[in-house]
Amino acid sequence: MTGVSDPPLPDGALVQSVFTAEGVSSGWRVWDDGRHESMRDGGDWTAAPPLGPEAVAEVRRVLAEAGLASIAGVHDDPEVRGGGGVLRFAAAAPGGPFVVELRDGVSPAPLERLVARLVPILAGRGPGA
């Protein structure tokens, strides 16, 4: 994958999304055992309500269907430089792990659709929750 050199995910994580702007990071992640964590304003990762086995299976299914191979890599807008921050979305999916890095506010539609499918599951309102 072009332009991304960091390890894609911590061992045992299914998906992790971290936004960094002006050196401060916030994000969320889900572990393969159902642990769900969040980080705010550069703080430590803190536990969120865990996901049950059905919700974890649904997260895996959503990731497998997302077409991550087609959007993996770095996306940026050459017309915009700085100030927009960086979103780094990493996921363990068949054929992966995959990392999608978005710079300066760029947001490909396939990633937006993927996150829209994950949010209800993480909030306990989606299939398998």
Q: What is the pLDDT of residue 88?
A: 93
pTM above 0.75, yes or no: yes
Count of Cβ atoms closer than 10 Å to residue 115 Cβ:
17
Mind listing the pLDDT tens digit for each residue in 66-112? 999 999 999 887 766 666 788 999 999 999 899 999 887 788 889 99
Domain spans in the chain, listed from the N-terminal domain onward: 20-79+112-129
Please, which pLDDT band fits residue 2 given cuts at 50, 70 and 90?
very low
Please, which pLDDT band fits residue 124 given cuts at 50, 70 and 90?
confident
Please, which pLDDT band fits residue 6 given cuts at 50, 70 and 90?
low
Rounded to whole angstroms, how far apart are CA atoms 62 and 90?
Answer: 14
CB 26 within 8 A of CB 37: no
For the residues 30-42, what does the mean pLDDT come to? 95
